Amino acid sequence: MSGKKKLWQALEPGDIVDIVAPASSSTGKDFQNALRFVHKMGLVPRAPKNIFGKDLLCANTDHWRYQHLKKALYARDSKVIWSLRGGYGSLRLLPALAKLKAPLQQKLFIGYSDTTGIHHFLNSIWNWPTLHATMLEELGRGEAGRREINDFIQILFNLTDSLVYEELEP
């Protein structure tokens, strides 16, 4: 490994992963599969008991999705916040996030799609690292290949400082 500074704190077995649903909802089965996926990585998943509500378009109301994200951002015992899925609704949380003071402890935020706005906020306002990568729901459903999962583990656990994909073409 090179002496380059890591962008985020490497994960270790037993670390807590805060799971948030800042956008669309999920099914109970997909949620349970996502929790199992985190366990299989040797990590401890943590999600709010009321992660899902009765909102028509989102996982829960704007109030609760914001509260869940805020709690995960300020939690001192976790290194990662991982979005369950994308869809719709994350941008509605940004005005409330903009009023928060950055926690002293930086952590890694993972997700893509609708959570891109949260990535941008965390990168540009708080100078936090983020990983624009596969959502937990997709991983729990088995929608990622073995190589993608292995690459994920290599990066998250600091087992390598780079990945090379030689077969990529423009």
Q: Where are the domains of the chain?
A: 16-156
| pLDDT confidence band for 106 (50 / 70 / 90) | very high
CA dist 92 and 97 (Å) reads 10
Tell me the mean pLDDT in the region 42-70: 97
Instruction: Report yes or no on whether pTM surpasses 0.75.
Output: yes
Contact between residue 78 and residue 15 where contact means Cβ atoms under 8 Å apart: yes
Superfamily of 16-156 according to CATH: Murein tetrapeptidase LD-carboxypeptidase, N-terminal domain (3.40.50.10740)
Find the distance separating the first CA and the last CA of the chain, reported in whole Å: 28
pLDDT of residue 167: 82
